[in-house]
Amino acid sequence: MRTIRVETTAATILLTEAPEPKVRDRQTGEIAKDAVSGEALMTIGVVYIEDGESSLIKVTVPEGGVSEGLNLGAPVSLPGLVARPWESVFNGQQRHGIAYRAAAVTPAAFQAAMGATA
C-alpha cells in the first residue's frame, strides 16, 4: 500500500498516552519489531489538532526514537510522520483503517498564537 507523508507544521500535537510496547501477537505477548532494523516498536496516543479540528490517533515509533522528557498533555513533535491505509478480513468481516508511523516522538513547544503580544 502507498505511504502518505503527513505535514505537521500547522498542527498542534499533544501526547495523550505514554509510549508502550507494540504487541504483535496478543496471545503470546510477542512485541512487534521493525521489518528492516529489527528494533522493537512502541505505540503512543496523541491528539492531532489542525484548523480547529482534532483527531485521536495511535502512532507507531521505533523504541530508539522515543525521547526522554515526554509528559502527558504536553506538545510533541512527530518527525517523519506518515499514514498508510490498510485493510484485512478478520473472522469473515472486512476491516480497514489508517496506520500512522513516525521516525521519533520528541517534546515540542506550543505554537505562539497569531497576533499574540508578549
Q: What is the CATH classification number for the domain harbouring 19?
A: 2.40.50
Domain of residue 41 covers 4-107
What confidence score (pLDDT) does residue 112 get?
A: 56
Residue 118 has pLDDT above 50, yes or no: no
Domain total for the chain? 1
Q: Let me know if residue 117 belongs to a domain.
A: no
What confidence score (pLDDT) does residue 115 get?
A: 45
Q: Which pLDDT tens digit goes with each residue over 31-90?
A: 999 989 999 999 999 999 999 999 999 999 999 999 999 999 999 999 999 999 999 888
What confidence score (pLDDT) does residue 34 get?
A: 92
Q: Let me know if residue 63 belongs to a domain.
A: yes
Q: Let me know if residue 37 belongs to a domain.
A: yes
Rounded CA separation 10/98 (Å): 21
What confidence score (pLDDT) does residue 90 get?
A: 84
Q: Let me know if residue 116 belongs to a domain.
A: no
What confidence score (pLDDT) does residue 113 get?
A: 53
Q: Let me know if residue 16 belongs to a domain.
A: yes
Identify residue 61 by its one-letter amino acid code: V
